[in-house]
């Protein structure tokens, strides 16, 4: 009954609204309700002149323009007066102290490095060199001038960057390899795990060269040899230097500084360098891994992957030096890193168009096909080879493999091994139980860490064919290295490198 009455009422109201008289009445009402003109604008509904209305959901009138407090400081957050006073007091205490000696030598400067600058102690020499102005000591005035202008308002990473930058005195806005030499040299001289190297300057230099090359391999993502502050900040370099201050076993610091890792790298290079001139030819490199790499891979490495190509007088041939060998070895034995991916993609991209197509795959397939046939006793067609490659990568565009496809590919190591290193690919295909157990027992290790452990054990136990064949001459540098590090002889054994360096 109520629904019928409501419908009737709505119908009657709609009829009334449609009448011309109703429209005229509404127009008159709207016209008469308009406010009279006034030289003063009407009050806002939120104005205090009409009282507090308690309207829900409406915001009060916004205040006038206000200044925004500065929140970005390129040189670092300004310090409070209390903090400045405390730091000045600490500096005065360290420099003056009970002896009232306003100048500090390198030996006594370490507390300034760790307590005031708050950077790792192995940066002591770099900070001392940056401040001392060619003197043998650092005065409090010299340090305060450098501290207030370069370090005081910075975080620890920026302080490390600026110290290394200032120590080189190059004035550049980036770090080159030479900037890290004072730090690594101090590690060699002071770390308890490297005391046995005392007195062997040539071998110390090779260790320093290796550590710095590994640093730039991992940290300098642009690969141009110029490390930026952002690259340093995104790395574990500072954390690794901190660890060195607390870890007496240098081999536990697997990032960059492990002596066992250096030992493996150097021995691998020495095995290939048959004439011991510290230069590797294409024929030398072909012997790597028992001839694991095909000729096209070797040629491509020498054509596009050498960062520091070496030459000999009267020859246009390019040679691989020790630094480039480090990049090769790290990339070959751990293809999961971003640097390794870029390294091998550049090698495989024959026409340098940023794509790996059937053209490139066919070129590497031809070099591998004979080896595949010898191993599998059957012929694998190019179509099957390409299909298997595409199944491994699953690129966004079939037939075109880009870097971003490989970055998200979990089997990127298998992909590169299939193209370049058949022995490692077969190891994966055969599900080698030893390899599987190694991976399961060391979940936190990288492929490089596992490789270095296996190779170091082989060298130290005398299982390497190269070491076994070298035992005839005790003067051979590789044998002396093995004796000094592997425990076969006392660490005080005379270490010699032999040969002459052309790098």
Predicted local confidence at residue 5, as pLDDT = 57
For 80-133, where are the E strands, in sequence order? Answer: 103-104
Q: What is the pLDDT of residue 496?
A: 39
CA 127/CA 106 separation, integer angstroms: 10
Look at the alpha carbons of 197, 198, 200, 203 in this order and tell me if their dihedral is positive or negative: positive
| Interval 447-459: pLDDT, tens | 999 999 999 999 9
Q: What is the pLDDT of residue 482?
A: 44
pLDDT value of residue 414: 93
> Considering only CA atoms, which of 468, 416, 478, 401 is closest in space to residue 447?
416
For the CA atoms of 427, 432, 436, 442, what is the dihedral angle to 10 degrees?
A: -70
The pLDDT value given to residue 88? 81
* pLDDT of 172: 74
Look at residue 380 in the predicted model and tell me its pLDDT.
81
Q: What does the radius of gyration of the chain's CA atoms come to, in whole angstroms?
A: 36
Contact (CB, 8 A) for 351 and 359:
yes
Please name the residues in contact with 157: beta carbons below 8 A apart, sequence gap of 6 or more.
Answer: 229, 232, 233, 238
Please tell me the predicted confidence (pLDDT) of residue 21.
73
d(CA 287, CA 378): 26
pLDDT of residue 499: 38
Alpha-carbon separation of residue 48 from 36, 61, 65, 167 (angstroms): 22, 10, 20, 65
Give the span between the Cα atoms of 10 and 13, in whole angstroms. Answer: 5
Q: Which residues contact 233 (CB under 8 A, 6 or more apart)?
A: 157
Give residue 404's pLDDT.
96
Closest Cα to residue 225, out of 164, 157, 178, 185? Answer: 178
Q: Which two tokens stand for residue 54?
A: 């308690």
Q: Nearest 5°: CA angle at 193, between 266 and 488?
A: 60
Output the CA–CA distances (angstroms, integers) from residue 334 to 54, 219, 329, 338, 417, in the order listed: 69, 16, 8, 10, 11
Q: Which residues contact 265 (CB under 8 A, 6 or more apart)?
A: 210, 325, 326, 329
Query: Within 13 Å, how many C-alpha atoms sit on residue 487's CB side?
Result: 5
Burial track 158-171 (b if 16+ CB lie within 10 A, e otherwise): bbbbbbbbbbbeee
- Superfamily of domain 283-444 in CATH is EF-hand (1.10.238.10)
Instruction: Show pLDDT as tens, one digit a residue, over the chain (503 residues).
Output: 555 555 566 666 666 666 777 767 767 766 665 555 545 555 445 444 444 444 445 455 555 566 777 666 565 566 577 777 777 888 888 887 655 567 888 888 999 999 999 999 999 999 999 998 667 889 888 899 999 889 988 899 999 999 999 877 666 789 999 999 999 999 999 999 999 998 888 899 999 999 999 999 999 999 999 999 999 999 999 999 999 999 999 999 999 999 999 999 999 999 999 999 999 999 999 999 999 999 999 999 999 999 999 988 888 899 999 999 999 999 999 999 999 999 999 999 999 999 999 999 999 999 888 887 777 767 788 999 999 999 999 999 999 999 999 999 999 999 999 999 988 887 777 766 776 666 666 667 899 999 999 999 999 887 445 544 544 444 445 445 544 444 433 333 333 343 333 33
pLDDT at 472: 40
Structure tokens that stand for 210 in this block: 């290796």
The CATH number of 81-252 is 1.10.238.220
Domain with CATH 1.10.238.10 in the chain: 283-444
Closest CA to 217 of 233, 237, 203: 237
Question: For the CA atoms of 208, 214, 215, 219, what is the dihedral angle to 10 degrees?
Answer: 170
The pair of structure tokens assigned to 402 is 């880009």
Residues 6+ away with beta carbon under 8 Å from 442: 449, 450
**Which ranges in the chain are annotated with CATH 1.10.238.220?**
81-252
């Amino acid at each position: 009954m109520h629904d019928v009455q409501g419908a009737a009422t709505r119908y009657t109201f709609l009829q009334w609204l449609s009448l011309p008289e109703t429209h005229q009445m509404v127009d008159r009402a709207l016209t008469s309700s308009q406010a009279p003109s006034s030289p003063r604008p009407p009050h806002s509904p939120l104005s205090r002149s009409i009282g507090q209305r308690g309207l829900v959901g409406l915001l009060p009138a916004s205040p006038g323009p206000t200044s925004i407090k500065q929140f970005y400081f390129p040189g670092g957050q300004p310090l409070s007066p209390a903090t400045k006073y405390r730091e000045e007091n600490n500096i005065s205490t360290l420099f003056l102290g009970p002896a009232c000696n306003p100048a500090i030598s390198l030996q006594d400067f370490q507390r300034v490095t760790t307590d005031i600058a708050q950077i790792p102690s192995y940066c002591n020499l770099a900070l001392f060199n940056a401040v001392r102005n060619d003197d043998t000591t650092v005065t409090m005035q010299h340090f305060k001038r450098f501290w207030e202008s370069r370090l005081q308002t910075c975080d620890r990473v920026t302080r490390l960057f600026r110290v290394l930058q200032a120590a080189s005195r190059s004035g550049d806005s980036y770090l080159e390899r030479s900037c890290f030499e004072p730090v690594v040299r101090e590690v060699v001289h002071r770390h308890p795990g490297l005391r046995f190297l005392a007195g062997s300057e040539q071998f110390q230099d090779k260790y320093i060269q290796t550590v710095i090359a590994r640093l730039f391999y991992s940290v300098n993502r642009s690969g141009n040899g110029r490390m930026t502050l952002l690259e340093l900040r995104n790395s574990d370099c500072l954390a690794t230097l901190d660890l060195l201050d607390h870890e007496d076993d240098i081999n536990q610091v697997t990032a960059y500084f492990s002596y066992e890792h250096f030992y493996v790298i150097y021995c691998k290079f020495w095995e290939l360098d048959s004439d011991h001139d510290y230069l590797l030819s294409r024929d030398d490199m072909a012997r790597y891994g028992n001839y694991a790499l095909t000729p096209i891979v070797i040629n491509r490495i020498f054509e596009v992957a050498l960062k520091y190509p070496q030459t000999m007088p009267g020859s246009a041939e390019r040679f691989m030096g020790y630094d480039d060998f480090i990049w090769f070895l790290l990339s070959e034995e751990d293809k999961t890193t971003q640097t390794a991916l870029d390294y091998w993609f550049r090698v495989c991209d024959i026409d340098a168009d940023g794509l790996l197509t059937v053209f490139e795959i066919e070129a590497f397939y031809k070099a591998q096909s004979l080896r595949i046939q010898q191993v599998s006793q059957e012929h694998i067609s190019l179509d099957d080879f390409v299909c298997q490659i595409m199944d491994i990568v699953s690129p966004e565009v079939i037939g075109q493999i880009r870097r971003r496809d490989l970055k998200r590919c979990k089997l990127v190591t298998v992909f590169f091994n299939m193209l370049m290193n058949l022995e490692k690919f077969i190891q994966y295909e055969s599900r080698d139980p030893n390899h599987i157990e190694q991976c399961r027992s060391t979940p936190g290790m990288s492929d490089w860490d596992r490789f270095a452990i296996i190779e170091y054990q082989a060298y130290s136990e005398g299982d390497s064919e190269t070491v076994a064949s070298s035992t005839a001459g005790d003067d051979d540098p590789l044998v002396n290295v093995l004796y000094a590090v592997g425990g076969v002889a006392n660490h005080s054994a005379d270490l010699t490198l032999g040969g002459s360096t052309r790098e």
